Amino acid sequence: MASLTGKTAIVTGSSRGIGRAIAIRLAKEGAKTVLCARDAAALESAVTEIAHAGGTATSIALDLRLPESPPQLADFAAQRFGGIDIVVNNAGATKRGGFLELSDDDWADGFALKLFGAVRLTRAAWPHLKASRGSVVNISGGGGRTPGAEFAIGGSVNAAMQSFTKAMAELGITDGVQVNVINPGLIRTGRFQKRLDALAAEKGADLATAERQMIAATRTTRVGEPEDIAALVAFIAGPEGRFLQGSMIDMDGGATKTL
Protein backbone atom coordinates (compact mmCIF):
# COMPACT_ATOMS: atom_id res chain seq x y z
CA MET A 1 0.00 0.00 0.00
CA ALA A 2 1.22 3.50 -0.82
CA SER A 3 2.32 5.48 2.23
CA LEU A 4 -0.40 8.15 2.01
CA THR A 5 -3.40 6.06 0.95
CA GLY A 6 -6.62 7.53 2.33
CA LYS A 7 -5.09 10.94 3.09
CA THR A 8 -6.20 14.27 1.64
CA ALA A 9 -3.44 16.77 0.78
CA ILE A 10 -3.57 20.44 -0.21
CA VAL A 11 -0.59 21.76 -2.18
CA THR A 12 -0.41 25.47 -2.96
CA GLY A 13 1.56 26.92 -5.84
CA SER A 14 1.13 23.56 -7.54
CA SER A 15 0.66 24.59 -11.17
CA ARG A 16 4.40 24.35 -11.88
CA GLY A 17 7.85 23.79 -10.43
CA ILE A 18 8.30 22.46 -6.91
CA GLY A 19 4.60 22.58 -6.05
CA ARG A 20 3.56 20.59 -9.10
CA ALA A 21 6.20 17.94 -8.35
CA ILE A 22 4.98 17.72 -4.75
CA ALA A 23 1.36 17.29 -5.82
CA ILE A 24 2.29 14.56 -8.30
CA ARG A 25 4.41 12.72 -5.71
CA LEU A 26 1.76 12.87 -2.97
CA ALA A 27 -0.84 11.57 -5.40
CA LYS A 28 1.54 8.78 -6.39
CA GLU A 29 1.79 7.88 -2.69
CA GLY A 30 -2.00 7.51 -2.59
CA ALA A 31 -3.16 10.91 -1.34
CA LYS A 32 -6.24 12.58 -2.75
CA THR A 33 -4.60 15.81 -3.76
CA VAL A 34 -6.04 19.32 -4.06
CA LEU A 35 -3.94 21.62 -6.22
CA CYS A 36 -4.20 25.40 -5.97
CA ALA A 37 -2.61 28.29 -7.86
CA ARG A 38 -3.81 31.16 -10.03
CA ASP A 39 -3.32 29.50 -13.44
CA ALA A 40 -6.40 27.33 -14.03
CA ALA A 41 -5.08 25.82 -17.27
CA ALA A 42 -1.75 24.79 -15.73
CA LEU A 43 -3.57 23.31 -12.75
CA GLU A 44 -5.83 21.27 -15.02
CA SER A 45 -2.78 19.98 -16.88
CA ALA A 46 -1.28 18.76 -13.60
CA VAL A 47 -4.56 17.14 -12.52
CA THR A 48 -4.75 15.34 -15.87
CA GLU A 49 -1.18 14.07 -15.47
CA ILE A 50 -2.04 12.72 -12.01
CA ALA A 51 -5.22 11.07 -13.27
CA HIS A 52 -3.41 9.41 -16.18
CA ALA A 53 -0.95 7.95 -13.66
CA GLY A 54 -3.82 6.48 -11.66
CA GLY A 55 -3.98 9.10 -8.91
CA THR A 56 -6.84 11.19 -7.55
CA ALA A 57 -6.68 14.97 -7.76
CA THR A 58 -8.72 18.08 -8.23
CA SER A 59 -7.87 21.76 -8.43
CA ILE A 60 -9.16 25.21 -7.67
CA ALA A 61 -7.75 28.43 -9.11
CA LEU A 62 -7.43 31.09 -6.42
CA ASP A 63 -5.24 34.08 -5.61
CA LEU A 64 -4.07 33.19 -2.11
CA ARG A 65 -2.95 36.76 -1.51
CA LEU A 66 -6.62 37.60 -0.98
CA PRO A 67 -7.76 37.05 2.63
CA GLU A 68 -10.89 35.14 1.60
CA SER A 69 -9.06 32.64 -0.63
CA PRO A 70 -7.28 30.38 1.91
CA PRO A 71 -10.49 29.59 3.86
CA GLN A 72 -12.20 28.95 0.53
CA LEU A 73 -9.46 26.47 -0.38
CA ALA A 74 -9.73 24.65 2.95
CA ASP A 75 -13.51 24.42 2.63
CA PHE A 76 -13.20 23.15 -0.95
CA ALA A 77 -10.79 20.39 0.05
CA ALA A 78 -12.80 19.30 3.09
CA GLN A 79 -16.07 19.21 1.17
CA ARG A 80 -14.59 17.44 -1.83
CA PHE A 81 -12.69 14.72 0.03
CA GLY A 82 -14.19 14.72 3.52
CA GLY A 83 -11.31 16.21 5.50
CA ILE A 84 -7.73 17.50 5.38
CA ASP A 85 -4.67 15.49 6.42
CA ILE A 86 -1.75 17.34 4.80
CA VAL A 87 -1.15 21.00 3.94
CA VAL A 88 1.89 21.98 1.90
CA ASN A 89 2.38 25.75 1.91
CA ASN A 90 4.52 26.19 -1.18
CA ALA A 91 3.01 29.21 -2.97
CA GLY A 92 4.94 32.44 -3.12
CA ALA A 93 7.66 34.16 -5.08
CA THR A 94 9.43 37.34 -4.00
CA LYS A 95 11.08 40.06 -6.04
CA ARG A 96 14.85 40.21 -6.14
CA GLY A 97 16.79 43.46 -6.49
CA GLY A 98 18.72 46.20 -4.74
CA PHE A 99 17.12 47.39 -1.53
CA LEU A 100 16.69 51.00 -2.66
CA GLU A 101 14.93 49.80 -5.82
CA LEU A 102 12.29 47.80 -3.95
CA SER A 103 9.00 49.57 -3.25
CA ASP A 104 6.51 49.18 -0.42
CA ASP A 105 4.26 47.34 -2.86
CA ASP A 106 7.07 44.87 -3.64
CA TRP A 107 7.50 44.14 0.06
CA ALA A 108 3.76 43.88 0.71
CA ASP A 109 3.30 41.52 -2.24
CA GLY A 110 6.17 39.31 -1.07
CA PHE A 111 4.61 38.83 2.36
CA ALA A 112 1.00 38.63 1.12
CA LEU A 113 1.29 35.28 -0.62
CA LYS A 114 4.17 33.35 0.90
CA LEU A 115 3.63 34.27 4.55
CA PHE A 116 0.07 35.49 4.99
CA GLY A 117 -1.32 32.99 2.50
CA ALA A 118 0.33 30.22 4.51
CA VAL A 119 -0.82 31.66 7.85
CA ARG A 120 -4.43 31.93 6.69
CA LEU A 121 -4.54 28.48 5.09
CA THR A 122 -2.96 26.86 8.15
CA ARG A 123 -5.48 28.59 10.39
CA ALA A 124 -8.42 27.57 8.20
CA ALA A 125 -7.23 23.96 7.90
CA TRP A 126 -6.13 23.54 11.53
CA PRO A 127 -9.42 22.13 12.91
CA HIS A 128 -9.34 19.46 10.18
CA LEU A 129 -5.65 18.77 10.78
CA LYS A 130 -6.28 18.49 14.51
CA ALA A 131 -9.07 15.99 13.90
CA SER A 132 -6.93 13.90 11.55
CA ARG A 133 -3.63 14.34 13.44
CA GLY A 134 -2.33 15.72 10.19
CA SER A 135 0.79 17.37 8.87
CA VAL A 136 1.86 20.83 7.67
CA VAL A 137 4.97 21.20 5.52
CA ASN A 138 6.09 24.75 4.77
CA ILE A 139 8.39 25.39 1.81
CA SER A 140 10.67 28.28 2.75
CA GLY A 141 14.23 28.91 1.56
CA GLY A 142 17.83 29.23 2.63
CA GLY A 143 17.69 33.01 2.34
CA GLY A 144 15.85 33.05 5.64
CA ARG A 145 18.97 31.73 7.35
CA THR A 146 21.63 33.31 5.13
CA PRO A 147 20.31 36.71 3.96
CA GLY A 148 21.74 38.53 0.96
CA ALA A 149 21.51 42.11 -0.23
CA GLU A 150 19.84 41.17 -3.51
CA PHE A 151 17.26 38.99 -1.74
CA ALA A 152 16.12 41.26 1.08
CA ILE A 153 12.41 40.57 0.63
CA GLY A 154 12.78 36.84 0.11
CA GLY A 155 15.14 36.44 3.04
CA SER A 156 12.82 38.35 5.34
CA VAL A 157 9.74 36.41 4.24
CA ASN A 158 11.54 33.08 4.56
CA ALA A 159 12.80 33.95 8.05
CA ALA A 160 9.23 34.77 9.06
CA MET A 161 8.03 31.50 7.54
CA GLN A 162 10.63 29.57 9.52
CA SER A 163 9.64 31.32 12.76
CA PHE A 164 5.96 30.66 12.02
CA THR A 165 6.79 26.98 11.57
CA LYS A 166 8.47 26.76 14.97
CA ALA A 167 5.53 28.48 16.65
CA MET A 168 2.96 26.20 15.02
CA ALA A 169 5.05 23.13 15.78
CA GLU A 170 4.79 23.93 19.48
CA LEU A 171 1.01 24.27 19.20
CA GLY A 172 1.03 21.09 17.13
CA ILE A 173 2.48 19.12 20.03
CA THR A 174 -0.65 19.98 22.01
CA ASP A 175 -3.06 19.51 19.12
CA GLY A 176 -1.47 16.46 17.51
CA VAL A 177 -0.46 18.23 14.29
CA GLN A 178 2.98 17.75 12.76
CA VAL A 179 4.60 20.97 11.46
CA ASN A 180 7.96 21.22 9.66
CA VAL A 181 9.74 23.41 7.12
CA ILE A 182 12.00 22.68 4.14
CA ASN A 183 14.54 25.18 2.80
CA PRO A 184 15.22 24.32 -0.85
CA GLY A 185 18.40 25.53 -2.51
CA LEU A 186 18.91 26.02 -6.23
CA ILE A 187 16.13 23.96 -7.82
CA ARG A 188 15.61 23.54 -11.55
CA THR A 189 12.43 25.58 -11.98
CA GLY A 190 11.36 28.32 -14.36
CA ARG A 191 12.71 30.97 -11.97
CA PHE A 192 16.06 29.19 -11.79
CA GLN A 193 16.20 29.02 -15.59
CA LYS A 194 15.76 32.80 -15.84
CA ARG A 195 18.65 33.31 -13.42
CA LEU A 196 20.77 30.85 -15.39
CA ASP A 197 19.93 32.56 -18.69
CA ALA A 198 20.91 35.92 -17.21
CA LEU A 199 24.20 34.55 -15.87
CA ALA A 200 25.03 32.93 -19.20
CA ALA A 201 24.39 36.21 -21.01
CA GLU A 202 26.46 38.15 -18.47
CA LYS A 203 29.41 35.77 -18.70
CA GLY A 204 29.12 35.10 -22.44
CA ALA A 205 28.91 31.40 -21.67
CA ASP A 206 26.68 28.54 -22.72
CA LEU A 207 24.08 27.29 -20.24
CA ALA A 208 26.04 24.22 -19.15
CA THR A 209 29.10 26.34 -18.38
CA ALA A 210 26.98 28.93 -16.57
CA GLU A 211 25.43 26.19 -14.43
CA ARG A 212 28.85 24.83 -13.48
CA GLN A 213 29.94 28.35 -12.56
CA MET A 214 26.84 28.81 -10.39
CA ILE A 215 27.47 25.52 -8.59
CA ALA A 216 31.10 26.47 -8.03
CA ALA A 217 30.19 29.95 -6.76
CA THR A 218 27.73 28.56 -4.23
CA ARG A 219 30.01 25.63 -3.33
CA THR A 220 27.22 23.12 -3.69
CA THR A 221 26.99 19.58 -5.04
CA ARG A 222 24.57 20.23 -7.91
CA VAL A 223 21.34 21.92 -8.91
CA GLY A 224 18.37 20.19 -7.32
CA GLU A 225 15.29 18.90 -9.08
CA PRO A 226 11.69 19.61 -8.00
CA GLU A 227 11.31 15.88 -7.46
CA ASP A 228 14.02 15.99 -4.77
CA ILE A 229 11.89 18.31 -2.67
CA ALA A 230 8.76 16.31 -3.45
CA ALA A 231 10.35 13.11 -2.17
CA LEU A 232 11.28 14.80 1.11
CA VAL A 233 7.74 16.15 1.57
CA ALA A 234 6.33 12.66 1.01
CA PHE A 235 8.71 11.24 3.61
CA ILE A 236 7.94 13.91 6.22
CA ALA A 237 4.17 13.59 5.83
CA GLY A 238 4.30 9.80 5.67
CA PRO A 239 4.41 7.35 8.58
CA GLU A 240 8.22 7.14 8.68
CA GLY A 241 8.63 10.91 9.13
CA ARG A 242 6.23 11.47 12.00
CA PHE A 243 8.96 11.94 14.62
CA LEU A 244 9.99 15.14 12.83
CA GLN A 245 8.40 18.12 14.59
CA GLY A 246 9.47 21.74 14.22
CA SER A 247 12.36 20.57 12.06
CA MET A 248 13.99 22.93 9.56
CA ILE A 249 15.61 20.89 6.81
CA ASP A 250 18.05 22.51 4.36
CA MET A 251 17.78 20.57 1.12
CA ASP A 252 20.23 22.70 -0.80
CA GLY A 253 23.28 20.67 -1.78
CA GLY A 254 25.34 22.22 0.99
CA ALA A 255 24.58 25.89 0.26
CA THR A 256 23.83 26.71 3.88
CA LYS A 257 27.18 26.77 5.67
CA THR A 258 26.02 28.05 9.06
CA LEU A 259 25.07 25.90 12.05
CATH of the domain at 58: 3.40.50.720
* 97 and 200 co-located in one domain: no
Number of domains into which the chain is organized: 2
Q: How far apart are CA 231 and CA 200, in angstroms?
A: 30
Q: Report yes or no on 216 lying in a domain.
A: yes
Q: Report yes or no on 112 lying in a domain.
A: yes
* 86 and 26 co-located in one domain: yes
What pTM was estimated for this model as a whole?
0.96
Q: How far apart are CA 253 and CA 92, in angstroms?
A: 22
How high is the mean pLDDT in each 10-residue block of the chain (259 residues)? 93 98 98 98 98 98 98 98 98 94 96 98 98 98 92 96 98 98 96 92 94 96 98 98 98 94
* 234 and 197 co-located in one domain: no
204 exposed, middle or buried (CB, 10 Å; 0-12, 13-18, 19+)? exposed
pLDDT for res 2 = 85
* 82 and 147 co-located in one domain: yes
* 120 and 195 co-located in one domain: no
* 95 and 216 co-located in one domain: no
Q: Report yes or no on 84 lying in a domain.
A: yes
pLDDT for res 92 = 93
pLDDT for res 182 = 98
Domain that holds residue 199: 188-223
* 228 and 218 co-located in one domain: no
Q: Report yes or no on 258 lying in a domain.
A: no
Starting at the edge strand that comes first in sequence, how are the strands of the sheet with 86-89 ordered?
56-61, 32-37, 8-12, 86-89, 135-139, 178-184, 248-251
- Whether residue 238 contacts residue 203, with contact meaning beta carbons closer than 8 Å, is answered with no
* 83 and 164 co-located in one domain: yes
Q: How far apart are CA 133 and CA 172, in angstroms?
A: 9
pLDDT for res 259 = 86
* 121 and 216 co-located in one domain: no
Strand partners, 251: 184
Q: How far apart are CA 24 and CA 72, in angstroms?
A: 22
| Mode of pairing for the β-strands spanning 8-12 and 32-37 | parallel
Inter-CA distances, 3 with 87, 92, 231, Å: 16, 28, 12
* 116 and 216 co-located in one domain: no
Q: Report yes or no on 1 lying in a domain.
A: no
Q: Report yes or no on 255 lying in a domain.
A: no
* 102 and 169 co-located in one domain: yes
Q: Is 111 helix (H, G, I), strand (E, B) or coil?
A: helix
